[in-house]
Structure 1
């Protein structure tokens, strides 16, 4: 069976593909060389001949926080990623041009791969769409041009191919000015070399980061609000036809979770032998260091009767590419309110009606005020541990380090950084990124930790410097997961 190389994406797996792979949203993902995966705000293309996934995204490092071009990785299972380097570098476009949200599509007419992206300068004054082409999916790609679609502005960029007629569409917001707060869905020509007509326009919703999934009965357009690198409540629209009418927007995740601290960007359809699975591929940005951004990939639950979709949060889950089945991995939970959890220094267990057992561990500050979970069972190998926390930095005032984004003049620090020490091995301190959650909202963030065999392990959490303070987030519980199967990817 031939797999169409489209950004729809529809995937029917071959029997040669390995099944059973774990996805850990928010984890530190590594490639097959053990290096950090740097592929932000991108999309996935499937190679027609092999069915292999190719992931294109912005290459960001501390030295190049705004991006150093477009990186490309490939995988058979969406977990084990091989790095193919830069598919397109800035030097091939313009050194001062920003390349954001790249997407790649195969053009049957030209027999080449076409890469499109939001092309701009550092002041975001151009608002164009860039095009580069290559006969090879991994590149290198040759820059063609940067143009205004139908003479209009173009900001955040997405692509979608209709599974019914094979036509490809561009999705883009048209700027931040009063006149340009719309999102366009526009059809490409057959060659995918230019946009030729507007199919629908979402007027004045002031949204960005658009993507579309197509079910058997509906189209769902997923978009983010415009809050820069600060997370927000991502919304979706539904329609029977791409030309509309489209529904009113609705949230795709629980309120105040800010879509699990992520921004939308791409969606993926997997047609398995047992079920069809849809994936939300989002970015968990870091306001102060966006090169530290993590990836939030979650199953999308579709309810055609209620005409809704929602994201399903799992700390760790297995995705079987062949069958399309998603299986949450079970772990063992250790609670902060229990007596086996020890607080030291100024840390203490505070009443919290929203927390497990009615208490949450707070006052975690530096290396002196800590929380230690004891009696943890380990296997003598690396295991994923999810830390469930509350970060109330939004409770401050605008003129304080932890400003309040919910008040006039407020600012977001958006993160606290915890120190994590296993079994007192202070020379092996791990950094725990704890992004803002909002009052009374508990979210989780994972770390891959080396635990000793037996049930006498301890995990101690303190605070590290995050640019403003040494304070760690409040802790509700941790969940310790079994070792990843040997056929999984070490991340």
Structure 2
């Protein structure tokens, strides 16, 4: 039996159906119907469209126009129900009425839980009262459009009741609202565009005004010659000043005569223009040239530039080519340096690895590590006897002749005579060093006075300094004499610091005896002694007072007439007295005598250098203890020019009661910490004539030089430079270079020696003649490998000594 729904159930279902249909009317059908895809016009991320795509802005405009046309098309605004009814041929006639109503709004609402319960029958105009006892016909319902309008009206009413603004309900109102918003957006964009253009125009005007003010082109609304002021003084002459002159066609004229920025290209342009002018008839050419001169003058009057001076352009082109060539050269040198440094670093790394492996192997075999002399035979700082020693602080050859040395802490202080300007007294100088190789000028302890012992034409020689711990004073003794050497006295001075200013205390003859060449000795027990040459009686040892300021007694006197004395005490407790025979400024075979007591007895005198060597052409001045070893210090005098006198320092071997100095080292090394001494390293000897020359430097013949040639005219007005490239060293270390040079002058010459970019001033003493080279030393940092560059140039516009060769330590 079929189930017949009740009236209430049917009414409820119909209400729900109407609500559902109303909702379907509100949603455009395009969201439910399949849409065509234009695959030809749409591209993907990984594939370009087959058809030509529009530009982004144009595509947006086209899409906007298309959407607008679709919204205005009535066929595109149908609901789903309308489309379904058209397909089924059951189009609701009420829908056409709803379109004619235009802006009618619905007043019905759905059965939302938040809304009050409303019977859908109340929304219909048809009475819903069934007739008792009669068949009830199917009730007629309002159209969907009417219900929708009532629903919208109801929703708006509820929103207004809650204080909210309603939305446009009909299609026309929606379109109108969209047009209004688009109009507001367009107006806003137009306003922003106008504002931007207005700002740009303002900035442009300000910039143009600033430029006109800078160039003096700003127009002024006043007379160039102002009217005379009534009542003012008038001289009949008016001064007019023009900041610039402007003419018509200025920029175009400047462009007409513009040339390339590159000088060489500008010269080519000018040459091309001149060729064209030369091909014209003379009258036309002259007219063009005349007009060109006026136009160029106008351009220059307006502050412009015309680059038509061929001489200046050629000079600029030449300068640019030089700069380019120099830059290229520097770049190549830089590449070579980097490559050499990399190779040197790699070699050093390989050497270090090899050394570590060797040490490991020696340790496994039980071999002791190398020490002492075996470690000294490397490219390190060297003492080079009889060479030019340039002191820092003066950039001159060390002036400490006839001197002595005292050590304070780890620093050695060398105190001697200044003979820079002759034999008469000038000053007593002090130099300092921590390695006995690199010397720095500290200052003058005593200086020339207007009168007295330290006055003009006086003799002040062989200063020696010792320290008195009791009085805490440094005491200096020296030979004081007249220019005729007739006084034969000793002078005494004291100071509170070893290289400070000393106070001269006076002079005297010790114990009434003559004293010329002298020395000082301080024994291990603190007792001090004066070593003095008494020409009438012989060489003496005198004891000093406790304060070291006077002589109290004679200790021992030799009958031999010897001078330039120096005393040491060996670790075995044996005293050695070294002295020179009396031969004036000429050298001789110096002697020594030994004893276990200063008071004697002393042994007979004997030579300590090979007989006939004349003590390697030197005279004793001091013997310096270094650890348990000793260093002989002698002077090689040049009586005709005492400034050029040099220093001969050599290792002195002490064994028992024997002293020997068998070898005249060209260069040798000393370890001031251990006292170890040994021969210097081997040397490479690049010839100057094979090096790179620039400026005025030239190769000249030299009979006494190694290659029978030397390089001269270094420095000077021609700015000659001698450069040794690819100088080889087997270690990255600080070492000593020897420069074999020739200087025929009577004074020092100076040069600037640059090694790997570091420059220093080096002095070059006069040599024996113009054909026999001497040596000047310079202490530098070398890189391991062949990446080193040594250049020699002028100093303060003067000429450097001629250079024979460079001596570079390598092992």
Do they fold alike, i.e. is TM over 0.5?
Answer: yes
Note if contact 2:389-2:776 (Cα within 8 Å) is conserved in structure 1: no
Asked if structure 2 preserves the Cα contact closer than 8 Å seen for 1:38 and 1:59, the reply is yes
Q: After the TM superposition, which residues 203-352 of structure 1 pair with which residues of structure 2 at under 5 Å, given as runs?
A: 203=559, 205-217=560-572, 218-271=574-627, 276-304=628-656, 307-310=658-661, 312-332=663-683
Structure with greater helix share of residues: 2
Evaluate the alpha carbon distance shift between residue 448 and residue 77 of structure 1 in structure 2; reply closer, same or farther with a 3 A threshold: closer
CA distance in 2, matches of 1:194, 1:433: 41
The Cα shift of 1:46 comes to 2.0
Matches within 5 A, 1:75-94: 75-91=433-449, 93-94=453-454
Corresponding residue of 1:120: 481
The CA deviation at 1:161 is 1.2
Tell me which protein shows more strand as a share of its residues. 1
The change in CA–CA distance for 1:112 and 1:29 in structure 2 (over 3 A counts) is: same
Cα RMSD of the aligned pairs, angstroms, is: 4.3
Note closer, same or farther for the CA distance 1:236–1:121 as it changes in structure 2 (3 Å cut): same
**Offset at residue 156 of structure 1 (A):** 0.6
Who wins on radius of gyration, i.e. which is larger? 2
Contact 2:381 2:735 in 1 (8 A): no
Q: 1:79-130: per-residue Cα shift (whole Å, max 9, x none)?
A: 2222122101131843143111001111223221111111111111111110
**C-alpha separation in 1, matches of 2:520 and 2:502:** 18
In the TM superposition, residue 242 of structure 1 has moved relative to its aligned partner by 1.1
8 Å CA contact 2:517–2:532 kept in 1: the answer is yes
Provide structure 2 residue ranges, at least 5 long, that are not aligned to the other structure.
Answer: 1-378, 686-699, 713-723, 741-745, 749-762, 791-803
**What are the equivalent positions in structure 2 for 1:124-135 lying under 5 Å apart?**
124-135=485-496
Whether the 8 Å CA contact 1:384–1:483 is kept in 2: the answer is: no
Are 1:480 and 2:807 matched, yes or no? yes
Q: Residue 140 of structure 1 is aligned with which of 474, 481, 501?
A: 501
Match of 1:371 in 2: none
Q: Does 1:168 align with 2:168?
A: no
Q: 1:201 to 1:382 in 2, by over 3 A?
A: closer
Q: Which residue of 2 aligns with 1:30?
A: 390
Preserved CA contact (<8 Å) 1:331 1:479 = no
Q: Could you say what secondary structure the match of 1:260 adopts?
A: helix
CA contact (8 A) 1:75 1:82 kept: yes
Indicate if the aligned counterparts of 1:156 and 1:208 stay in contact, CA closer than 8 A: yes
Instruction: Summarize deviations over 1:9-44 as a string: whole Å, max 9, x none.
Output: xxxxxxxxxx96421111211222352211110111
Q: Pick closer, same or farther for the CA change 1:345–1:138 going to 2, 3 Å.
A: closer
Which range moved further: 240-249 or 146-155?
A: 240-249
Measured after TM superposition, the shift of residue 208 of structure 1 is 0.7
Is this contact kept in 2: 1:280–1:311, CA < 8 A? no
Match of 1:73 in 2: 431
CA contact (8 A) 1:262 1:296 kept: yes
Change (3 A) 1:99 1:253: same
Matching of residue 446 in structure 1 with residue 775 in structure 2: yes
Task: Give the 3 Å change call, closer, same or farther, for CA 448–158 of structure 1 in structure 2.
Answer: closer
Which of 536, 539, 548 aligns to 1:183? It is: 539
Report if the CA contact (8 A) 1:93-1:143 is conserved: no
Residue 52, structure 1, aligned to residue 418, structure 2: no
* Alignment correspondent of 1:192: 548
Deviations 1:201-253 (A, max 9, x none): 111x2211100121022111111112222111111111121111111211121
Whole-angstrom CA distance in 2 between matches of 1:32 and 1:363: 33
Indicate how the Cα distance of structure 1 residues 364 and 126 shifts in structure 2: closer, same or farther if over 3 A, else same: farther
Unaligned runs of 5+ in 1: 1-18, 335-343, 349-359, 368-374, 388-414, 418-429, 437-442, 458-474, 485-491
Q: Say whether the 8 Å CA contact 1:61–1:67 is kept in structure 2.
A: no
Higher relative contact order (CA 8 A, sep 6+): 1
SS of 1:30's partner is strand
Between the aligned partners of 1:239 and 1:362, the Cα distance in structure 2 is 51
Q: Is this contact kept in 1: 2:684–2:809, CA < 8 A? A: no
Partner of 1:405: none
Residue 363 of structure 1 deviates from its aligned partner by: 11
The TM-score normalised by the length of structure 1 is 0.65
Pair 1:111 & 2:440 matched: no
**How many angstroms apart in 2 are the aligned matches of 1:212 and 1:136?**
24
Tell me the alpha carbon deviations over residues 120-141 of structure 1, each in whole angstroms, 9 at most, x when there is no partner. Answer: 1111111111011122222211
Question: How many aligned residue pairs are there?
Answer: 372
How far has the Cα of 1:311 moved from its partner? 5.1
* CA–CA separation in structure 1 for the residues paired with 2:645 and 2:402: 10
Deviations 1:368-408 (A, max 9, x none): xxxxxxx9994499964487xxxxxxxxxxxxxxxxxxxxx
Cα offsets for 1:297-322 (capped at 9, x unmatched)? 11101121x63333542222221111
Asked if 2 retains the 8 angstrom alpha-carbon contact of 1:237 and 1:246, the reply is: yes
Taking structure 2 as the reference length, the TM-score comes to 0.41
The verdict on how the C-alpha distance between 1:480 and 1:30 changes in structure 2, with shifts beyond 3 A counting, is closer
CA distance in 2 between counterparts of 1:269 and 1:233 reads 22
Change (3 A) 1:308 1:72: closer
Aligned residues of 1:330 and 1:481 also touching (Cα < 8 A):
no
